[in-house]
A and B are shown apart, each in its own frame.
Chain A
Amino acid sequence: MSNGTSKTSKISRRSALLGMGAGAGALAAAGVLPGTMGFAQAQSSAPIKIGFQKHATGIGAAYGRWYGATTDAAVKRINDAGGINGRPVEVVVEDDGTDPGRGAEVLEKFANQHNCDVAFGTLFSHVVIGSAPRAGELKLPYFVVSEGHHVASGMLNRYTLQPGITDVKSQVISMAPFVANNLGKKVTMIYPDFAFGHDHRDFFSEAIAAQGGEVVAKIAIPPTETSFTRYFPSIPRETEVIYHVMVGPAVLTFVKELGEFFGPNRPELFGFIDSLEAVDIKSSGLEFLEGTYFWEGMPRYAQADQADYEKDYRAAVGVDENGASIADSKDVATYAHMFGCWETLNIIKAGMESADYQGPQDRAKLIEAVEAMTDMPAGADHPQGAKRFNGKTHQTFGSQYISKVTDGKLVVEHTASIEDGLYEDEVDYTAQSF
C-alpha cells in the first residue's frame, strides 16, 4: 500500500519542482497532493479512514483503553448500518504515548502515511495543543474528545473541533448554582497545579461569586504528588464545601486521605468524577463518600429512569449497570468521558454525509458541514443527552449531571441544562481561512 503511494508522491513532487520553479507555497501544496491523488484513484467503495490518536501508553493509558473500546463499538454500529456514504469506516490506531511531541508526529503519520480522512480521539489537553498546529498545517480535520477549554478559547485553528464533549469552562459554570444553593457558599478548592486545574480555579471562582458565594482557599497540588495529607491543614475552618478535582493514578489516594483527614465530621464535598474516574467507588477507604456529590459527564450507574438508547449504548461499549466492564466487575470504565468518542464519530458521519464527502479534497467542506450543525437531539447517536454545537467556537454544549453517593452508588440528584453552561464566544473560527 505505502509503496504505491510513495511512488506517486515522488513523481508529483519532482514535477511540481520543475514546473513551478520551486516556489515555497507550491511545494507545500504538493506536499499535500500525493495523498489526495492516491485516494482519488481509489474506488469510491474504499473505506473512510479515521486516524485514532490513542493514549495507549503513558499517563493517559487507563482512559485510552476505554476510549478505544468506545471507538470500536461506535464504528461497528456505523458499519453495521451501512457505513458513511455507503463506504465502510476503518479506524487507524496510533499510540501517542500521551506525549505532545509524539502526538504531533502521529498526526503527520495519519495525514501523509496512512492517508486518513480525519484524525480523532485525543483526550489529554497537552497532546491536543501539541498536535493541533500540525493538524492546521496538514489541513487534516482533527476532532478532539478532550473536554479542555483550548478549542473554545481560540488558541487552536479552524481544523480542530470538539463537537462531542462539553468543555471544562461550561461544566464548571453550570455547577456553581447547585453548589451555592444546596451545599454552601464558602468553598475551598483543591485542584492539580496545572492548566486543567487552573481552568477549574478561574472559572469556578468567577461563577460562584456570581451566585453570591466565595472561594475561601485555593489549594493547588503539585503534579506527580503521591501523598496529600500535609496539604489538607490549609483548608480553612469556615469552609462549608470542598470542591475537589484530581487526575492521574494517585486519585484514589487523594480521596482516601481526604476521608482520613476529616474523620467523622467533614464539610460538604463536591468533586469532579475525574477524581474517581476508573476507580471503584466501593474501594475500601471510600466509605466516607456516602452522601457527597459528584459532577458526572454521564451517569456511571444506570439510573432508574434510564432511556432505552442509553441502555443500548451501555451494552454496546461493554459496560454493566454499575459502570464496570461486563467481563470484569472490578474494571471500572471512564464512563463520564468516553461517550465523547461515540458521539464524535456519529457527528463525523453526519458531517460527511451532509457534505457529500468523497475524499481529502472535501475536508474543508466537512468542516463547514460540522460548523453548520446546531442542536442535536438526545438519542442513539447522542446517548449522553442533547447537545448544542457552536460552529463559531467549534465547541459543543450539553447537559451535566450532579450525582449523590447513595448506598455506595452514584444517583443523579440534579441535571444542569445546556443553558446553565453557556458563555460568551471567545473566538470565531469561521472567520479564518482554510
Chain B
Amino acid sequence: MTDNSKSNLMHIGVLVVLFALFFILPVYHAGNMSRIMVLAVYAMGFNLLFGYTGLLSLGHAMFFAAGMYGFGLTTNLGGLPVPLAFGFGVICAGVLALVVGFLALRTIGVAFMIVTLMFAQTAYLVVLYFGTYTRGDEGFVIQQAQRSIAGIDLTSETGRYFTALLIFGICFLLIARLVQTPFGKTLVAIRENEERTRMLGYDSHRHKLKILVISGLFSGVAGATYALLFGYVGATFATVQYSIFPLVWVLLGGAGTTIGPLIGVFFMFYLINISSGFTDAYMLVVGVVLVLLTLFAPHGLAGLLRKKVLTWLP
C-alpha cells in the first residue's frame, strides 16, 4: 500500500472510530468528545497557518470570535435562520482574516505575532465597547428553541455529537486533501524556505494571504459551531487565552500533521479534566506535563508517532 492510500485510510479510520465512539462511550465522555471535535476544528484551522505555513499568529481568537458573534448576533438579534446565520458567521471570520492578512502580512516572524496579537486585542475591546448588543464579558445565551436545523434538535446529546462529527469530518477531510494539493505543498515550501520559494516563481505573499483567509474560515466555523452547540456567546472566547490555546494544542499534538490538532485538544482536555479530579493543583500538573513533553516529545505526540511507528503519517 502506498503512503498516500495509507493516509487516506487513516483519515477515514479516524472518522469511523469517532462515529463508533458515540455508541461505546458513556454519555459524559461522548459529550466531551463533541466539545473536543469542535475545538479540534479551531486547532486545525490554526495548524494550517502555523504548522504548514510557518506563520505564528497570536490572534486567532478574533477569527473564532468573529464566527461566534457573527452567528450569535444574527440569530439572536436578527432572527436569521440557523444555516444563514451560520454562514454569515463564517463569512465574517473570512472577511476579518482578509483584512488582517492584508495588513499583518506586511510583517514576518515575531512582528507578525505581535500585530495579530494586537488586532485580536482590538477586536476583544470592540466586543466590550458594543456592550449594548454583545453584553460584553457576560455574553448572551442562544435559546434552546433557536438551536435546531430542519427540525433536528441540536441540543440533544445525539444531535450535538453528530453535528460536531459532521463538521469535524468535513473540515478534517478538506484539510487532508488541501495539504496534498500543489497549493498545500507550496505552503510547506514557504515554511521551509520562503526566499527560495519566491525565487522559484511562487507568489508567496498571495499564498500566505490565501491560507490566512482559509485558516480564519476554519476558525470561524469552529466559533459558530461552538455557539450553536453549546448555546453561549461571550467575550472570554476573544481573549488572548483563546489565541494561545490552539498554539498549545497544535504544538502538543504535532504541528504540520493533519491528526495532530485532534490529538492535542484531546490530550489537553483530558489532562485538565483528569488531573483536576485528584488534585486542586491541577495547573501544576499541566505545567509539569507541558515541560516534560517539550523535553521528550519535541515534535508533539503525532511527531512522536511518526518517528516511532507511523512513518507515513501526513
Contacts and interface: CB of A to CB of B under 8 A. Distances in A.
A137 B141 CA distance: 13
Nearest to B159: A24
Interface in B1-44: 23-24, 26-28, 31-32, 35
Given A95-B276, A156-B141, A194-B131, A100 B28 contact: no
A6 interface: yes
Interface residue tally on A, bucketed by range: 35 or more
A259 interface: no
B144 A108 contact: no
B156 A31 contact: yes
Contacts of B158: 22, 24, 27-28, 31
Contact of B152 (A14, A24, A134, A150): A24
A132 B125 contact: no
A275 B174 CA distance: 51
A34 B27 contact: yes
A14 B26 CA distance: 11
Contacts of B141: 129, 132-133, 155-156
A108 B152 CA distance: 22
A372 B230 CA distance: 30
A24 B163 CA distance: 12
Q: Which of A17, A94, A100, A136 has the most CB of B within 10 A?
A: A100
A31 B153 contact: no
Contacts of A156: 141
Contact of A10 (B26, B31, B140, B232): B26
B253 to A, nearest CB: 19
Interface residues of B, number: 41
A322 to B, nearest CB: 28
A94 B276 contact: yes
Q: Which of A34, A126, A155, A222 counts the most chain B CB atoms within 10 A? A: A126
A109 interface: yes
B283 A57 contact: yes
Interface string A213-224: 000000000110
Contacts of A56: 280
Interface string B158-185: 1100000000000000000000000000
A100 B132 CA distance: 20
Contact of A108 (B32, B156, B283): B32
A222 B232 contact: no
A136 B234 contact: no
A248 to B, nearest CB: 11
Contacts of B283: 57
Contacts of A222: 125, 128
Contacts of A148: 138
Contacts, number: 124
Task: Say whether chain B's binding surface is mostly helix, strand, loop, or mixed.
Answer: helix
A367 B62 CA distance: 39
B139 interface: yes
B197 interface: no
Interface string A102-128: 001100110011000000000001100
A208 to B, nearest CB: 20
Interface in B135-155: 135-142, 144, 152-153, 155
A13 interface: yes
A193 B136 contact: yes
B51 to A, nearest CB: 23
Nearest to B156: A28
A126 B131 CA distance: 13
B236 interface: yes
B87 interface: no
Interface string A318-353: 000000000000000000000000000000000000
Interface string A270-293: 000000000000000000000000
Of A24, A148, A157, A198, most buried by chain B (CB within 10 Å of CB) is: A24
B27 A31 contact: yes
Interface of A: 5-6, 9-10, 13-14, 17, 22, 24-25, 27-28, 31, 34, 56-57, 94-95, 99-101, 104-105, 108-109, 112-113, 125-126, 129-130, 132-134, 136-137, 148, 150, 155-157, 193-196, 198, 222-223
Given A24-B158, A137-B144, 13 more contacts: A13-B23, A14-B23, A28-B153, A28-B156, A31-B157, A57-B283, A101-B237, A105-B35, A133-B230, A133-B232, A137-B231, A193-B128, A194-B131
* In the complex, the 10 A-B pairs of residues with the closest C-beta atoms, listed nearest first: A133-B231, A28-B156, A195-B138, A112-B28, A31-B157, A6-B26, A194-B136, A27-B158, A194-B137, A113-B28
